Structure 1
Amino acid sequence: MNNPRLEYLREKVKQLPKEPGVYIMRDKSGKIIYIGKAKALRNRVSSYFRSVEKHLEKVYKMVENVYDFETIVTDSEFEALVLECSLIKQYTPKYNILLKDDKGYSYIKITPPPYSRIQAVLQKQENDGCTYLGPYMSSYVVKQTVDEANKVFMLPTCNRKFPQEFRKGRPCLNFHIKQCVGLCRGRIGEAEYAARLEEALDFIRGGSARALERLEEQMMRASENLDFEKAAQYRDRIQAIQRITDRQKVVSSKAADADIVAFTQSDSATAAAVLLFRNHRLVDKKDFVFYESGDLPAFRREFLLSFYREDIPRVIEVDGDFEDRELTEAYFSQKMGHKITITVPQRGEQAKLVEMARNNASQRLSHEVSRTGRELSALDELARLLGLGAPPSYIEAYDISNIGADTIVGGMVVFEGGRPQKKYYRKFKMKTQLTPDDYASMREMLFRRFARYEQEKDTGEGFGRLPDLILLDGGKGHVAAIQPLLEEMGMNVPVFGMVKDDRHRTRAIAKDGGEIA
């Protein structure tokens, strides 16, 4: 292993207590790269620096980058678990399992009567007098469902307050295009509206054959009138509703409010699938792929702690046991203020649901492997066309935009393994080049980018990583302007330009001195 600090780390471990606590691994720049908890700190931390060649790939890479570590002693293993989760959420270390937590769950909100509204929301508010359906993992599905329910049953979506604003102003466009019953006219009684609302909620909860029949009639009518665009819109609505209702046909007599979690692995990746049951119905599904494999019990634990931040169901059923299951139960129970149970079903209906979740994980993994194969083939072909020695795994592309007379902005996008890495996208507002000049602006942007490399190369990510290929939005002139700069800065990175046609589509690839068709 190429870590010159290994002996230092082994000696430092000997000073640790055999007490519960949290350990924090840092790289050479001081950045936190991994956080874990231990029942006995000395035993756990020392395991990372012994027999390092036997570690799984992820652990091996992490240990290779450890420059130093620190520990926090706690009074109990439970306190260590709570602190571990808090620190991981705060610092998002590179080698911990991290799930995007920017959107969270989505809910369907029913405002208080009279004249309740149905709305799609991202957060559940406590004690606001509203009723909520959910949680759902897909905000798109929730919005699609609410939109269709409001359209099919012609419920108002405007900002007017009823009955206070009856007969104040003209009906909006939705009334005239028959997507709203026109409640604002004051001609719909409270009982009639409540019945219409209940029909919409019945559709949302369990599907509605009547609603589907109505859409199918409208689709056929549009098709007969040769309005194929409108017919396609109705078809899309029908399919969206059917996706919801089909999902809700899966019913469990035992899974009242439970999540079913299962995993599957290949040699290089792990997939997880979560099925959400609410009121005995399967209401949503979410799956994930992580490009690491091995030690599935440890993976289960990390995944659950990362996935369940809020709205934890009373029952979580997983496809296998893992270390600290009872401790994790206690932690979740404390967060929610009531008992949370984590079980491993072995037989019966619940075991079949676990198998269903595992099949979903397997399908996602197969799809991901197939997709990865196509992307790698494309990179092989790109390497062949450009005459590169190896497929470019890490690609950076640059463009310049002149916004108005005095604002020039450059953009950098990043692809790894053929996939966009949006967290590394950057914008550069020109500081020295203040007049439109693509070549000079491109030079300033690339200079600033690679100056940051010299400052951050110890991190090995973001600006601290050298690309395998640079693509410029421009022709051979752009390439000729940039290559001397890179050579001057000591950056041996191949550079090519993307020549666009009149429709701004890539017509050819440019290099210094010519074009490649």
Structure 2
Amino acid sequence: MADPASYRPKTGEIPTTPGVYRFRDPNGRVIYVGKAKNLRSRLNSYFANPVQLTTKTYTMVHTASSVEWTVVGSELEALQLEYTWIKEYAPRFNIVFRDDKTYPYLAITMSDKYPRALVMRGDKQKGTKYFGPFYPARAIRETLDTVLRVFPIRSCTTGIFKRAERAGRPCLMGYIGKCSAPCVGRISEEDHRKLADDLVQFMASDGSKFIRELESQMAAAVKILDYESAARLRDEIAALRRVFERNAVVLDDNTDADIFAVAEDELEAAVQVFHVRHGRIRGQRGWVVEKVEDASPEEFIEHLLQQVYGEMYDADRIPREVLVPTLPANELDVAQWLRDLRGAAVSLRVPQRGEKAALMETVQENAVQALSLHKSRRSGDITVRSQGIQELQENLGLAEPPLRIECFDISHVSGTNVVASMVVVEDGLPKKSEYRKFKITGDAARDDTASMYDVISRRFQHYLEDLSGSDDLESGQINAAEAKQAPPKKFAYPPSLVVVDGGPPQVSAAVAALTDLGIMDMPVIGLAKRLEEVWIPDDPFPVIFPRASAGLYLLQRIRDEAHRFAISFHRQRRAKSMISSVLDDIPGLGPSKRQALMKHFGSVKKIRAASLEELKQVPGFGDKLAATVHERVHEAAPSVEAPVAAESAEQQE
């Protein structure tokens, strides 16, 4: 890795004007593109103290070997140039929403002698009417197939059309009734163009006018007993209704908007967008990207809008409204850039209430589901799991593959109700039957390192005891009959790798616990959540895994599962402590009557809200006991609020 000091430019050489900069690697490839309002201030931040940089930025500046910049006239120009260079170079340390396809549209070539209906991508052409975007492409192809039954204009290529003209025979579409076959003179040029005009009007409206006309024609056909024509018209009406049933009405007819939402974790982000045109959801699209650069939510949204709209030079493809979960960095410049692309005003905002905010929640739910599906597919892929185990062995220098990994996490709120969890993963899959919970009390609960020492000591003390039992069996001190009657020994199988949630202090505590037990050959690492750094004992620097590493993904999944398991146990403990704090000290209220009271009301909150008469209705409660309970629960009301208020603090843990 290069030393940033070797290519750091002199401060006086860097201008203080807006501009765009590029970092290059030793081979001359651009690995990062950024923009700045003040180039000198931004670039100096990369070199002032590289040790204090975040992991991703630290890796980038040590991978690069040179930096260069271009001065521009304004921040808006910097925004445009940054987008151009990101598209040109696809830098590895920039978030890039890779997609090799453009949006599919239903196009009608009105400038042709015989207008043609087709699915079209790419830049718009003059004299062609476009409807969409539709996504996925299957949706627009189904729509086209349906409308051609009612508006049978040509959909063939120029080559097929001319070949049919020469042969005097229509193509298959003409024979099955989905083309009026102007190539062989079955319909005049004027009538064919009228069909095309009707199709344009139908797609531009909600179709009610055409459906009403067809219903009138069907009624007239029934009146004269022309049931064959009536059946055909009935099928056409059903076909037109299906076109609009696919695109649910969600907003006012005059609403054209793109609605974005993002779901993310430390490594990846899922983006979803709903395209609403004339109040209907015309399409949905999504990406899952690696978070290869340190970008705030505002910067992430800015990069997203840059890349989604950067190539949409046609005004019709950019809607009047762009709704986002967070306003982008340089909001005014981004809005002006969109306005220049569209040639008209663009409303860039965060919906706060009403139908648009509700639809934003739906888009957000789709993003969450997309990220969850992406992760579940990765975790369920045996190839990815095997690759992750192999990467852990290689990057951590383990003597054997970590086929069994145990991860430990501590959970508490301000030092109260301290608990710990142990989760087990074998062959990359969770083994929930061997998860364990630990209650931590006394001096061990004073801080996280003491708690970690206590948990590791207790877990491996059990391991040594179980191992000793196995040795007794092998030496003949325990006979086979006794061994069969003995409970299964869950701790006798040692892990290949111990993972603790935290950095060097937690790792040192775990190693100290193992050393005090005489276990010297157990690999231990720590995974620090904020920067996803992997810490090894006695190493001043963390191990940095590649962003797309299957090994890092496996560690992250194990750590998150341990955290979830610890939080669940902590909440159970806190709930029990809240109940005991209110009911345990009431004279005359023993375990059976306390259970009867909870069964009758269901919660302490409902007990506190109950009247004296309602308390008397509990089986086994007389006037005196009911009065005592009523008095004590109301006296204790202020003290029981603390655990509830602690919820927000625990969620932030």
TM-score (norm 1): 0.60
Kept after mapping to 1: 8 A contact 2:131/2:203: no
Q: Does 1:22 pair with 2:20?
A: yes
Change in Cα spacing, 1:6 to 1:120, as seen in structure 2 (3 Å) is same
Q: Deviations over 1:233-284 (max 9, x none)?
A: xxxxx99x96x74551132128722111111112321111111111121111
For 1:303, the equivalent position in structure 2 comes to 304
CA gap 1:39/1:167 in 2 versus in 1, 3 angstroms: closer
Question: May I ask how many residue pairs the two structures share in their alignment?
Answer: 366
State the alpha-carbon separation in 1 of the partners of residues 187 and 371 from structure 2: 52
CA contact (8 A) 2:275 2:282 kept: yes
Q: Counterpart amino acid of 1:93? A: P
Question: Which residue matches 2:87?
Answer: 89
What does residue 346 of structure 2 align with? 340
In the alignment, what sits opposite 2:468?
none
CA RMSD in angstroms comes to 4.2
- 1:33 to 1:76, Cα distance in 2 relative to 1, 3 A: same
Query: Secondary structure of 1:380's match?
Result: helix
Please show how residues 372-383 of structure 1 align to structure 2 within 5 Å.
372-375=378-381, 379-380=385-386
More helix by share: 2
For residue 116 of structure 1, report the CA deviation from its aligned partner.
3.3
Task: Provide, for residues 161-191 of structure 1, a one-character-per-residue CA deviation record: whole Å limited to 9, x for no partner.
Answer: 9999889702333344455454445344678
1:286 to partner: Cα distance: 0.6
**Contact kept in structure 1, 2:262 and 2:272, CA below 8 Å:** yes
Counterpart for residue 45 of structure 1 = 43
Cα shift readout 1:316-350 (whole Å, capped 9, x = no counterpart): 11011231011111122223332223112222222
Which has the greater radius of gyration? 2
Q: Partner of 2:133: helix, strand, or coil?
A: strand
Distance 1:20 1:200, change over 3 A: closer
User: What does residue 249 of structure 2 align with?
Assistant: 250
Q: What is the CA deviation profile of residues 208-236 of structure 1, one whole-angstrom value per residue up to 9, with x for unaligned ones?
A: 999xxxxxxxxxxxxxxxxxxxxxxxxxx
Where do 5+ consecutive residues of structure 2 fail to align?
A: 212-237, 395-399, 403-427, 429-544, 552-653
Deviations 1:447-505 (A, max 9, x none): xxxxxxxxxxxxx99xxxxxx9xxxxxxxxxxxxxxxxxxxxxxxxxxxxxxxxxxxxx
2:62 alignment partner, one of 57, 61, 64:
64
Rounded Cα–Cα distance in structure 2 between residues aligned with 1:15 and 1:163: 66
The alpha carbon displacement at 1:368 in A equals 0.5
- 8 Å CA contact 1:263, 1:358 repeated in 2: yes
CA distance in 2, matches of 1:372, 1:164: 50
User: CA–CA distance in 2 between the matches of 1:54 and 1:366?
Assistant: 32
Could you tell me whether the CA contact under 8 Å between 2:3 and 2:62 is conserved in 1? Answer: no
| Cα distance per residue 1:70-119 (max 9 Å; x no partner) | 11122222222222222222222112222335432222111228753311
Partner of 2:572: none
1:429 corresponds in structure 2 to: none
1:390 CA displacement:
5.1
Checking the alignment, whether the CA contact within 8 Å between 2:258 and 2:273 is kept in structure 1 is yes
Once the two structures are TM-superposed, the CA of residue 306 in structure 1 deviates from its matched residue by 1.4
Conserved in 2, the CA contact under 8 Å of 1:122 and 1:139? no
Are residues 120 and 321 of structure 1, via their aligned partners in 2, closer, same or farther at CA, if it must alter by over 3 Å? same
Q: What is the CA-CA distance between 1:289 and the residue it aligns to?
A: 0.7
Q: Equivalents in 2 of 1:381, 1:333: separation in Å?
A: 47
Cα offset for 1:9? 4.5
Amino acid in structure 2 at the alignment position of 1:252? L
Aligned residue for 1:366? 372
| Cα gap change, 1:82 to 1:124, in 2 (>3 Å) | closer
Name the CA distance, whole Å, in 1 between partners of 2:385 and 2:363.
33
Q: Aligned match of 2:136 in 111, 135, 138? A: 138
Counterpart AA for 1:299: F
What SS is found at the alignment partner of 2:344?
coil
Note if contact 2:180-2:186 (Cα within 8 Å) is conserved in structure 1.
no
| Structure 2 equivalent of residue 32 of structure 1 | 30
**Alignment-mate amino acid for residue 312 of structure 1:** I
Q: Given that residues 99 and 306 in structure 1 are in contact (C-alpha distance below 8 angstroms), is that contact kept between their aligned partners in structure 2?
A: yes
Map of 2:117 onto structure 1: 118
Q: 1:17 deviation in Å?
A: 2.2
Q: CA, structure 1 residues 11+118, in 2 after alignment: closer, same or farther (shift >3 Å)?
A: closer
Is residue 156–residue 182 contact of structure 1 (8 Å, CA) maintained in 2? yes
Question: Secondary structure at 1:251's aligned position in 2?
Answer: coil
Corresponding residue of 2:333: 327
2 CA distance for matches of 1:195 and 1:78? 46
- Give the residue type in structure 1 aligned to 2:301: R
1:36 offset after TM fit, Å?
0.8
Give 5+ residue unaligned stretches, structure 1: 211-237, 392-416, 418-459, 462-467, 469-517
**Where does residue 174 of structure 1 map in the other structure?**
173
Structure 1 residues 356 and 60, CA, compared in 2 at 3 Å: closer, same or farther? farther
CA distance 1:15–1:247, change in 2 (3 Å)? farther
Q: Matched residue of 2:124: which SS?
A: coil
The 1-side partners of 2:46 and 2:207 are apart by 53
What is aligned with 2:273? 274
Mapped contact 1:21–1:71 kept (Cα < 8 A): yes
SS in 1 for 2:341: helix
- d(CA) in 2 for partners of 1:295 and 1:25? 20
| Alignment pair present for 1:314 and 2:320 | yes
Map of 1:448 onto structure 2: none
Residue 363 of structure 2 corresponds to which residue in structure 1? 357
Mapped to 2, the partners of 1:164 and 1:190 lie a distance apart of 18
The 3-state SS of whatever aligns with 1:248 is: coil
User: For residues 270 and 279 of structure 2, what CA distance do their matches in structure 1 show?
Assistant: 25
Q: Check whether the contact 1:115–1:163 (CA below 8 A) recurs between aligned residues.
A: no
Query: What TM-score comes out, normalization by structure 2 length?
Result: 0.49
Alignment partner of 2:88: what SS? Answer: helix
Contact 1:22 1:37 in 2 (8 A): yes
| Per-residue CA distance 1:3-52 (angstroms, 9 max, x = gap) | 44222345635631222111111112111101111000111112223454
